[in-house]
Structure 1
Amino acid sequence: MFAATLCAGTRLLPAQAAAVQTPGTPEVPDWALPGSPTHKQYAPPVDFHRATKTFDQPIGVFQGQSDIGGPLVPGSATYDAATKQYTINSAGYNIWYTRDEFRFLWKKMSGDISLAADGTFPIPSTPHDRKIVLILRQDLEDDSKEIMVGEHGTGMVHLAARSQKNAEIKDMQYRIGGSLLPAVMPQRIGIQKHGDEVAMFISVKGEPMHQFGPPLSIHFDGPFYVGVGFCSHYPVTVDTGVLANVTLENSAEKLH
């Protein structure tokens, strides 16, 4: 486990405060613990929020970094210019429900967007729902309006959105990998914003990027935040995601 302290602004309800932790570890709300045989987690209370911590640390093509939702263990990220790889280390119980916890590398942008990356998970583990994300967010708060393409540790990829602040994320079931294609890890994923239409793109085995499923409609006021992130799906256990060959264009129809 990793030692850490609760971020300022944490609000624990009685049931959350009762979660038993070993000495030297943070208090984890009971709803955030994926402890059952089915790895079940629950939605947070509707009024539960933690402050995001933002760092004035440009990295690669991105202007800044944030620990969205104040994860109980701080995240980190590095960029290797030679290999064009971003390595993101992060705990965080999920990027889902009405709030998120993950390390986010971002750039403020407006207009149309094309963002793509090769995603891998270098640390062997039971994959469950750890995920790399390509994501557009209206702000840096934990309950921001957002839309993401997420690649899970099983290889499953999907398009999902939080239509407004503090709303539940909806998954439109545009899925590939996971139980549908066992042992297949997509080679490259992408997200494209064209006006208010946002679509998922994919290359499973190196073929040209192609749209997978219809787009979703969501409006962002500019500027908004565009970037990449990683979440371990465990509140105090750090895992690692790597995104390579990241391309980010301020235009649609530029995915490659």
Structure 2
Amino acid sequence: MFKLLSLVLFCLINVASFGQTNAIGIFQNHADIGNPKKTGGARYEEVTQTYTINGGGSNIWFNRDEFHYLYNKIQGDFILTANFEFVGQEGDPHRKIGWMIRESADEAAASMNAVIHGDGLTVLQWRPLRGAYMRDPQDEIFYPKKTVFQIVQLERSGKKMIMRVANWGEPLQEVGSHDMPDMPDAVLAGLFISSHNPEAVEEARVWNVRIDKPVASIYHPNPQIQKTLPKSQPTLGCRLETMTLADGKRKVIHESSGKFEAPNWMPDGKKLLFNEGGSLYTIPVNGGTPEKLNTGAISKINNDHGISFDRKQLAISSNKEGATGGGSYVYVLPLTGGTPKMVTEQSPSYWHGWATNNKEVTIVAQRNNSKIYNLYQVNVATGNEKPLTTNITGHVDGPEYSPDGKFIYYNANPTGTMQIWRMKPDGSGKEQITFDENHNWFPHISPDGKWIAYISFPTDIDPNSHPSYQRVTLRLVSTSGGAPRVVAYLYGGQGTINVNSWSPDSKSISFVSNSQVAETGKELSGTK
């Protein structure tokens, strides 16, 4: 079983010198702060990757605090995100759970707290200096007392601390932000609980706990400025995650200090397929040792690969061995591995979808010396190409057939924002599906044909681009229409969900999220 404890490697500074006697899950320590009358504690369930935390304490307020704390020592900028839920409806209305950034474990330490109270009060509060009285803004937000759970995010960006919240299915909204100019660079950060009643102990469950270390972006939304910037970008570590869509609960099943991308769920439902370092690997859905898939002499595979509807064939996109110019070509091989057959003679060509008859594929390609990408249908046996779009401006990407074969879903930006579209298999009847301010990419249709999963990029990126290392969301919308809902909040982008990664039973999905810098200057060749 994969052990989530290894995430500590991504989150801690000077691990060797930091106490490990109370380590739990990804947290290096947990302890009572301020000597509360009732002792707190914590336990971690590895199967579900859920924390149960208990804590007493008179309060987190005035000029000193009493609570139970699970924490790491972290330096620089970071993003803390998790789902929180009190256990039991009874208790003091001022009991508190949430994220806390603290200068030390001293009871009077300066701190920044993203807090949910027992009565639904949701607020950012802070103690600017050691021993000072706690402060909070006037624009407090109250949620219903019986709210089942909330997502809480606390981000440190320089000296600014930012709190965001959401109920699952909704976009994050900012509760408040505040500058902490005297907070040291290296701080404690983690989960907390306080009963607000010195005679009581409260309990809460916390899941989808993620600590991310963003990189300074070198991406610029203006293409002319972007051309002047360095082409390489720091490489972050990666997590391979699965998520059940009924409740949004996520599990990390594999991680690496390097870069891997784009999981497919294998037809038997027992393994995932992903690309790393130009090769493909399979891994059990509950974690384990990745096994390399035989792709013959092809060893520059990028993040566009997928499985035919008959479950027998695998399409891949890869640079040609020995070719100059770095262009990608499309190949097909047996799903069990073997010698790939080239499908496209021209480059660049990126696979994105299989036809339901298993005889054609849809690709994204530049043709006739054009700098614009268009969508094509290609016969696997003959290599004959049929254009599905003929754009002369903008960008299209991600063409994928619905399981019933009636539509090809894709993303396009003819209106200035990247949105999800669909068309008939012959390229006619183009119809826009999503309508919002986000840049929406890579629609993936569930095997039962009921849902579209896709990734949403923030508004400040070039709509033609889907860069790495962004604050993105995964969204779900019904193929029959309706409003989309957010199912995951993460740090990712390029490689997160480029290809269809639905489980065969349409109940789960897999994706890649990022953690923190591990290596620099390494990007997979041939990614578009």
Task: Give the shorter-chain TM-score range.
Answer: 0.7 to 0.9
Q: Which of these residues, 51, 59, 63, is aligned with residue 28 of structure 2?
A: 63
Q: How does 1:1-256 map to 2 (within 5 A)?
A: 56-178=21-143, 181=144, 183-184=146-147, 187-213=150-176, 215-219=177-181, 220-251=183-214, 254=471, 256=490
The answer to whether the 8 Å contact 1:197/1:216 transfers is: yes
The answer to whether the 8 Å contact 1:158/1:173 transfers is: no
| Cα offset, 1:218, TM superposition | 0.3
Q: What TM-score comes out, normalization by structure 1 length? A: 0.73
The answer to whether the 8 Å contact 2:92/2:195 transfers is: no
| Cα offset, 1:228, TM superposition | 0.5
User: Which amino acid is the alignment partner of residue 94 of structure 1?
Assistant: N
User: For this pair of structures, how many residues does the alignment match?
Assistant: 200
Q: Distance in 1 between matches of 2:83 and 2:137?
A: 22
| Cα offset, 1:205, TM superposition | 4.2
Q: 1:15 aligns to what?
A: none
RMSD: 2.0
Q: 1:48 aligns to what?
A: none
Aligned-partner SS, 2:56: strand
Q: Distance in 2 between matches of 1:182 and 1:153?
A: 7
User: Which amino acid is the alignment partner of residue 238 of structure 1?
Assistant: V
Greater displacement, 138-147 / 241-250: 241-250
Q: What TM-score comes out, normalization by structure 2 length? A: 0.36
Q: Distance in 2 between matches of 1:193 and 1:173?
A: 21
Q: Residues 78, 182 of structure 1: CA spacing in aligned structure 2 closer, same or farther, 3 A cutoff?
A: closer
The answer to whether the 8 Å contact 1:98/1:167 transfers is: yes
Aligned-partner SS, 2:97: strand
| Cα offset, 1:88, TM superposition | 0.8
| Cα offset, 1:193, TM superposition | 0.7
User: Which amino acid is the alignment partner of residue 245 of structure 1?
Assistant: N
- Structure 1 residues not aligned, in runs of 5+: 1-53
Q: Residues 79, 173 of structure 1: CA spacing in aligned structure 2 closer, same or farther, 3 A cutoff?
A: farther
The answer to whether the 8 Å contact 1:55/1:65 transfers is: no
Q: Distance in 2 between matches of 1:161 and 1:232?
A: 18
Q: Distance in 2 between matches of 1:182 and 1:120?
A: 11
The answer to whether the 8 Å contact 2:118/2:145 transfers is: no
Aligned-partner SS, 1:114: strand
Larger Rg: 2
Taking only the aligned residue pairs, the percentage that are identical comes to 29
Q: Distance in 1 between matches of 2:198 and 2:57?
A: 5
Aligned-partner SS, 1:92: coil
Q: Distance in 1 between matches of 2:133 and 2:99?
A: 18
The answer to whether the 8 Å contact 1:91/1:238 transfers is: yes
User: Which amino acid is the alignment partner of residue 175 of structure 2?
Assistant: F
Q: Distance in 1 between matches of 2:36 and 2:92?
A: 20
Higher relative contact order (CA 8 A, sep 6+): 1
| Cα offset, 1:183, TM superposition | 4.4
Aligned-partner SS, 1:171: coil
User: Which amino acid is the alignment partner of residue 80 of structure 1?
Assistant: E
Aligned-partner SS, 2:125: strand
User: Which amino acid is the alignment partner of residue 216 of structure 1?
Assistant: H
Q: Distance in 2 between matches of 1:188 and 1:135?
A: 14
| Cα offset, 1:187, TM superposition | 2.2
Which runs of 4 or more aligned residues in structure 1 lie more than 6 Å from their structure 2 counterparts after TM superposition?
none
1:50-95 deviation line (CA, Å, top 9, x unaligned): xxxx982111111101210011121110011222211111110111
Aligned-partner SS, 2:214: coil
1:95-114 deviation line (CA, Å, top 9, x unaligned): 11100001100000111110
